[in-house]
Amino acid sequence: MTASGLDGHSEETPLLTAKQHEEIYLRFKPTKKRGIVAIVSATGLLALFVSGTFVPSIPQVAKDLDSTPAIVGLAVSFSILAASLGSLIGATYSGFYGRKPIFLVGTPLLIIGSIGTAAAHSIYELIFWRFIQALGASPGLAVGSGVIGDIYKLEERGRALGVFFAAVLAGPALAPLVGGFATRYFSWRLLQLGLGITGVIVFFVVVFFFPETYHIGQRGADKVDPESLPKWRPVILNPLKPLWMLRSPNLLAVSLAGFTTLLTDYVLLIPLAYTIGAKYGISNEAMIGACFLPAGVGNMIGAPLAGYIADQTVIRCRRQRGGEWYPEDRLRATYLGALFLVPMTILGSGIITHYVDGKIGLILNLICIFLNGIGVDFVLSPSAAYVVDLMHGRSAEAMAANNGFRSLIMSLAIAGILPSIEQYGVLATNTVTAIVAWLGFILIAGTIRYGERLRAVVDVGFSTADNN
C-alpha cells in the first residue's frame, strides 16, 4: 500500500478537489458578478438610508410628535435592535433557502414599515413602524456580505467586500444630506414614503435580475427530503443560533472591536445637531445633514482602500509563510484605523468642540469626521472579510452574528449618548469613547498575535485554505 493510500485517497484527489473548488467561483462571469455586487449594494445602501435619513430629522420629529429629542432617539435604538434581529433571521434562513428569498421577504416589510412611519401620529407608532422598517431592511448587510463570499474567492474577497462597503457606505454620506434637505424643505413624512417607493423598485430589480448565489447543493433545503418540508409555512429555525458562533474568542474579539470602532461614529454623528450644530450656530436641518457628508466620503474612500490593502496583506504574508494561510494576517490592515484614526479623531473632535470657536473650529471638526470615516472602514472592512474567510461555509450567519451582537450592544449604548453629553459634556463623552476605541485595538492586536491558539480553544467550524 502506498503512503497516499493510507488515508483513503490518491494524490490526484486534492488536485481534483482544488479544481472543483476553483470552478465554484467561475459560475458567474465578471460582468455578472459586478451586477450582483451592484444589486446587493443597493439593498445595503437602502438599509443605511433607513437609519441615516432619520437622524437629521430628530428635532423636527420631536416637535411634530410633541416629544423630546432623547425620546425620539429611542426610535434609533429600537431600529438598531430590529436591524440586529432581522440580520440574524435573514442570515439563518438564507443558509436554508438561499440568498434571493430573503431579499424578497425583507423588502416588502421595509415598504410597509416606511408607509407606517410616514403615517405615525405618536411616538409609540413611530417606534413600532421604525422597528418593522429596519427589520425588513436589515438583511442587506449580512446577506449581502454572504453573497460576496459566494462569488469571490479568498484572494479577491477583500477588494470585493471593500467595493460593496464603499457603495453601501455612501449611505452615511448621502442619507443625512437627503434627510436634512427633505426635512427642511418638504417633510420627514414624505421622506419616509420615498424610502418605501425605493423599496418597491429594489424589490422588482431583485425579482428579475438577481440570481441565486448560494453554492449549488449546499443550502439546507437541498439536504433534506422535499416531501418533509412544510407546505404552507417556512421551516422553523432558531435565528439566535448564529450568535453561538461568538463563543469563539476570535469572532467575539472582532465583533467587540467593531462595536468600539462604530461607537465613535455614532458619538460623533447622532448628537451632531446638539454638539457641533449648537456650538457653531447651525440650526438648518439641511446644513446639519451636510455636516454628515465628510463621514460618508471618508467611508467611500476608506472601504475599497482598506479592502485592497487587506487582500495584498494576505497575499504578501502567505508568500512569506511559504504558502501557508494564517487568517489573522488580514487583520493587520486594521492597524492604521484602530490605533490612530478612530480614537484620535473622536478625541480631537471633543477637544476642538470644547475649546475652538468660530469657522476654524467647524472646519477642524469636519476634518475629524472625514478622517473618522476613513478610519472606521479601515477596521470594519478587513474585519468583515476576516469573518467571511474564517466561516466561509456559513458566511452570512457569521456576519449576522457579528453585526447582530454589535448592534445589540450599540442599541443600548446609543440610548446613553445624548444623556451623557447633557450630563458630562462633549469633551468627557468623547474622551471616554476614545479610550473604549483603544481597547478595541488591543482586542484586534491580541487576535492577530494569538489567533491560532484562540481558534484552538473553540472550533465553531472554521474554514481552511482548501474550502475557502
Give the domain CATH number at 438. Answer: 1.20.1250.20
Q: Which amino acid is at 13?
A: T
Q: Is residue 7 part of a domain?
A: no
d(CA 275, CA 296): 19
Residue ranges making up the domain that contains 118: 29-216+240-458
- 54 Cβ neighbours under 8 A, 6+ residues apart: 61, 75, 76, 79, 130, 179, 188
Q: Is residue 395 part of a domain?
A: yes
Q: CB-based burial of residue 193 (10 Å sphere; 0-12 exposed, 13-18 middle, 19+ buried)?
A: middle
CA 243-40-269 angle, 5° bins: 70
Q: Is residue 95 part of a domain?
A: yes
Q: Which amino acid is at 44?
A: G
Q: Is residue 104 part of a domain?
A: yes
Q: Is residue 226 part of a domain?
A: no
- What is the Cβ-side half-sphere exposure of residue 43, based on CA atoms within 13 angstroms? 35
- pLDDT (tens, 9 = 90+) of the chain, 468 residues, equals 333 333 333 333 344 355 565 677 778 888 899 899 999 998 888 888 887 777 777 777 888 887 777 777 777 778 878 888 888 898 889 888 889 999 999 999 999 999 998 998 888 888 899 999 999 988 887 888 889 888 888 778 878 887 887 777 777 667 777 777 777 778 888 888 999 999 999 999 999 999 988 887 777 777 877 777 787 788 888 888 888 999 999 999 999 999 999 999 989 987 888 899 889 998 877 787 788 889 888 988 888 899 889 989 998 999 998 889 899 999 999 999 999 999 999 999 999 999 999 999 999 999 999 999 999 999 998 998 899 889 877 877 888 788 778 877 887 888 788 889 989 999 999 999 999 999 999 999 999 999 999 999 998 989 877 766
Q: Is residue 156 part of a domain?
A: yes
Number of domains in the chain: 1
For the entire predicted model, the pTM comes to 0.75
d(CA 251, CA 401): 9
Q: Is residue 20 part of a domain?
A: no
Q: Which three cell numbers stand for residue 372?
A: 473618522
Q: Is residue 11 part of a domain?
A: no
